[in-house]
Copies of this chain bind each other. A is one copy, B any other.
Amino acid sequence: MTYQGHIVLFVGGVGGAKLAHGLYHTLKPQQLTIIVNTGDDFWHYGLRICPDVDTIMYTLGGLVNRAQGWGVADDTFTAFETLRRYGESPWFRLGDQDLATHMTRTARLREGATLTQITRDLSASVGIKCVILPMTDSPVSTIAHTQAHGDLAFQEYFVKHRWQPALRSLSFVGIEDARITPEVSEAISRADAIIIGPSNPWLSIQPILQVPGLRDLIGGRDVPRIAVTPLIGGRAVKGPTAKIMAEFGLDVSVKTVVEYYSDLINGFAYDERDAAPELPTDAAHIRLNALNTLMDDEHARQRLAHDIIAWLADWSMK
């Protein structure tokens, strides 16, 4: 691999973490900056929890529970189970090792550090050499407006109710006041390529793209800007992407995803198992590439990372 460019990758949690992991082990660390959704972040038992940032960090740091794709491997749940002693019915599974992450983060937030600074230091502590950036240091809270349960804080919707309630719409509280950090701005400005990971476009990528100014910053870059499909064979590998597309009245197809990103991207990687999506006339500039996007083991992650990088390396020759 002779690609020397700097890649900015946008991701949410588990799905995006797989591609992040593949790229991390294919590129030199200084070639990769990962910008992570923080719309899922929440306060829980007094602690600030950043599920997507932690999933990326645990995955790249080699700490992750590989079977579930999040949390720390071989963690214990003593504190979590003890909450029941006090009549609590905890639903967000917090491991004892995981708690140390939230405790350190919360202590530093209370001292006035930014999430960007804290994430940098936590990442370095677990040996991560690339840059992981929260999408913003401003607090943003995704709210799921559901049919059956009314408005739910994101983790209540996603974890407590296991994304089963039908979704009417989403809102991102605080997003109007969210500010792009200098680190995010600089990473996008100097990127040689921008990748939108195979994360849920509505739940995970949408909050990132709604940080005021961020869409323009991405769209203004004359570099490869590619999205990787979150759907294979009309289904999400994991999670509710297809389910919520149907709930939003959208056609559950790769074409819908391409259209969703069409004003932002100039390349789209669909899965080789699928037919090439028809492009709307105003999206004829989008280059399509059929890749094996199923990352069912570490080899597959690196294969996809390799294929994407090969595409980027050839980009300007076409």
Given the contacts A47-B46, A76-B76, A78-B76, A85 and B100 also touching, CB distance less than 8 Å: yes
Would you list which residues of chain A between 89 and 126 have a CB under 8 Å from chain B? 96-97, 99-107, 109-110, 121-122, 125-126
What CA separation (Å) do A45 and B79 show in the bound complex?
Answer: 15
Q: Counting CB contacts under 8 A, is A88 at the interface? A: yes
A97, A109, A110, A121: which has the most chain B beta carbons within 10 Å?
Answer: A97
**Least distance between A9 CB and chain B CB atoms (Å):** 24
B83/A103 in contact, CB under 8 A = yes
**Least distance between A173 CB and chain B CB atoms (Å):** 17
Q: Counting CB contacts under 8 A, is A210 at the interface? A: no
B104/A83 in contact, CB under 8 A = yes
Number of copies of this chain that the complex holds: 2
The residue on B at minimum CB distance from A105 is: B46
Task: List 17 A–B pairs whose Cβ atoms lie within 8 Å, in order of A's numbering.
Answer: A45-B104, A45-B107, A46-B46, A46-B109, A47-B47, A76-B76, A79-B97, A79-B99, A79-B100, A79-B103, A80-B100, A83-B100, A83-B103, A85-B100, A85-B125, A86-B122, A86-B125
SS class, residues of chain A in contact with chain B: helix
Q: Which residues of B contact A107 (CB under 8 A)?
A: 44-46
**Least distance between A115 CB and chain B CB atoms (Å):** 14
B97/A78 in contact, CB under 8 A = yes
**Least distance between A62 CB and chain B CB atoms (Å):** 12
